[in-house]
Amino acid sequence: MDPSFVTMGMWSIGAGAIGAAALALLLANTDIFLSKPQKATLDYLEDIDLKTLEREPKTFKAKALWEKTGAVIMAVRRPGCFLCREEAADLSSLKPRLDELGVPLYAVVKEQVKNEVKDFQPYFKGEVFLDEAKKFYGPQRRKMMFLGFVRLGVWYNFFRARSGGFSGNLEGEGFILGGVFVVGPGKQGILLEHREKEFGDKVNLVSVLEAVRKIKPQTSASEKK
């Protein structure tokens, strides 16, 4: 066999492999393979059971968080993740404005591992509760596995958070994606629902404040009279 044909064949195989890898990388950086989030309803959120993180935890319905004042709620993907800590710090920067508007800031976590929540709280200026059933991460839970590590957006987010001085660890479950909600009081409904599409996909703070400004304070029966 002519050696030139062998060489050409090897080059063709190599070029094909490179082309396939490039195509796979390109597709991985589109939203084609990302699972689409299912929107939550107010009824769904209201019925979620949450627990306090005290030594003797108390269970209550999630609607108690926003029933009277509305609320901003972060569903934390993993408290030890430096990307989650970055978003927590960003949301906490809104706390003075939220306090002026009378709207509390909360977070929910899906598990309590070692001191992870305690170590998370310096980054987050609000109360944290446990959502053992992971309902805030639904109605349809979405995961990002190893696809996340070939997405350019994720690597940009890594660099951004590291440059901002954030660090973390690998404790706990970190593949189920989180999000941020702004919920109005009573039956006003969900005013903002941000679902993390990839690791480090932060909520837009301007959008959070715009949603919070739409909150209509509840008026008591005596005030109506």
39-89 pLDDT tens trace = 999 999 999 999 999 889 999 999 999 999 999 999 999 999 999 999 999
Positions annotated as catalytic residues are: 81, 84
Q: Which residues of the chain have pLDDT under 50?
A: 2, 5-6, 21-27, 221-225
Of 174, 60, 181, 183, the closest CA to residue 120 belongs to 174
**Residue 147, number of CB atoms within 10 A of its CB:** 14
Alpha helices in the chain (DSSP H): 3-28, 42-46, 82-92, 95-101, 116-120, 152-163, 205-213, 221-224
Q: What is the phi-psi region of residue 200: left when phi exceeds 0, alpha when psi lies from -120 to 50, beta otherwise?
A: left
Residue 83 backbone dihedrals phi, psi, to 5 degrees: -70, -40
Instruction: Quote the pLDDT of residue 33.
Output: 55
The whole-angstrom separation of Cα 199 and Cα 155 is 9
Instruction: Quote the pLDDT of residue 12.
Output: 57
Q: What is the pTM of this model?
A: 0.83
